Structure 1
Amino acid sequence: MSPRPRKQRCCEGGCPSSAFKPVGIPLRSLRQIMLFRDELEVLKLCDLEGLFQEQAGERMGVSRGTVQRLLASARQKTADALVSGAALIFEEDELTEKKA
């Protein structure tokens, strides 16, 4: 049995840049961790703007459970990159709809 198709997610704006990395080390020599646009958006909504997961889900058009999974993944990837000195690579997801 195949999984249910993913729901389209609404994200505001675009990625600030294509990568975030330690200073002075070339990107090609760093381990790269992919952070998808919807993960970055949920991190911004919950941790920066202080929204509850239900509110973030309403803004993105997804359930609270989806927000919880995205938030856990984004936090794990961000902490890994900061602790290990890896680069965060911001990737667009094919199911992410940008809001102007």
Structure 2
Amino acid sequence: MPRPKKQRRICGRPAFSCYKPNGVTMRELEQVRLLPEEFEALRLADMLSLSQQDAADKMEISRQTFGNIIASARFKVASSLVEGKALILKEDEQEFDNGYCNGSK
């Protein structure tokens, strides 16, 4: 039996729920789903330029787990851009932690 998945700290929310190529309807596009933890990893590592260890600490996960998450996120974004797929930013199962994100914890 696999270990239960540890809850990750997610502070960033996407501005929109999906990104897609112009001029093509969603029905015609293959979709790539980006998980909330993958979005947060991209935000911390690529937008805020945190090291993998610092970003992992913020998400309360190991550095190795963070490395796996960021690699998956980068692959999904790259394949979406290169192959013209819709990028769906999934927002279920994770809770946004206002207290933690505003620095009160």
More strand per residue: 1
Query: For the aligned residues, what is the CA RMSD?
Result: 1.1
In the other structure, the counterpart of 1:57 is 56
- Check if 1:39 corresponds to 2:38: yes
Q: How many residues align?
A: 98
Distance between the aligned counterparts of 2:89 and 2:17, measured in 1?
Answer: 5
Does the aligned pair in 2 maintain the 1:33–1:77 contact within 8 Å? yes
Superposed, 1:64-79 pairs within 5 Å as 64-79=63-78
Which structure has more relative contact order (CA 8 Å, sep 6+)? It is 1
- Residue 97 of structure 2: aligned partner: 99
TM-score by length of 1: 0.92
- What is the CA-CA distance between 1:99 and the residue it aligns to? 2.1
After TM superposition, the score normalised by the length of structure 2 is 0.87
Q: Any unmatched runs of 5+ in structure 2?
A: 99-105
- Give the Cα–Cα distance (whole angstroms) in 2 for the partners of residues 47 and 32 of structure 1: 23
The list of structure 1 runs, each at least 4 consecutive aligned residues, that deviate by more than 2 angstroms after superposition, is none
For structure 1, which runs of at least 5 residues remain unmatched after alignment? Answer: none
1:13 deviation in Å? 3.7
Do 2:12 and 2:43's aligned partners in 1 also have CA atoms closer than 8 Å?
A: no
